[in-house]
């Protein structure tokens, strides 16, 4: 659970680092880049321990970590785009998320 909590927190920082500047059209590109780098530093401070802890504890394989991270990223981004950027979610986005969740099922399923 610690790994997933760190992944969620790191993805919140990552989403703001990558997409937060979209609300500030007047912000010069060089400032947006520097601010984004500053925010991304904190993302890395959370992501690296999440990956190392999940992997070295034997809880997750590297592939499972990556797939989990992608699902967390999409959930965080969907909330961010709706509540921060004020964009709507369309039906085809929901279908896309469903197929990614299918990938999670297959990644964590033990096939004999």
pTM of the model: 0.85
In the chain, the largest separation of any two C-alpha atoms, in whole Å, equals 56
Give the pLDDT score at 15: 96
Nearest to 77 by CA among 6, 13, 4, 1: 13
Per-residue pLDDT tens digits for 43-101? 999 999 999 999 999 999 999 999 899 889 989 999 999 999 999 889 998 898 889 88
Residue 72, SS3 per DSSP: helix
């Amino acid at each position: 659970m610690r790994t997933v909590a760190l992944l969620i927190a790191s993805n919140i920082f990552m989403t703001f680092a990558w997409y937060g500047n979209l609300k500030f059209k007047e912000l010069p590109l060089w400032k947006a880049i520097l601010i984004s780098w500053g925010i991304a530093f904190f993302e890395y401070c959370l992501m690296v321990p999440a990956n190392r802890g999940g992997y070295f504890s034997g809880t997750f394989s590297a592939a499972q970590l990556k797939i989990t991270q992608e699902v967390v990223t999409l959930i965080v981004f969907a909330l961010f785009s709706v509540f921060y950027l004020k964009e709507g979610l369309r039906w085809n986005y929901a279908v896309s998320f469903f197929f990614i969740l299918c990938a999670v099922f297959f990644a964590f399923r033990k096939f004999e």
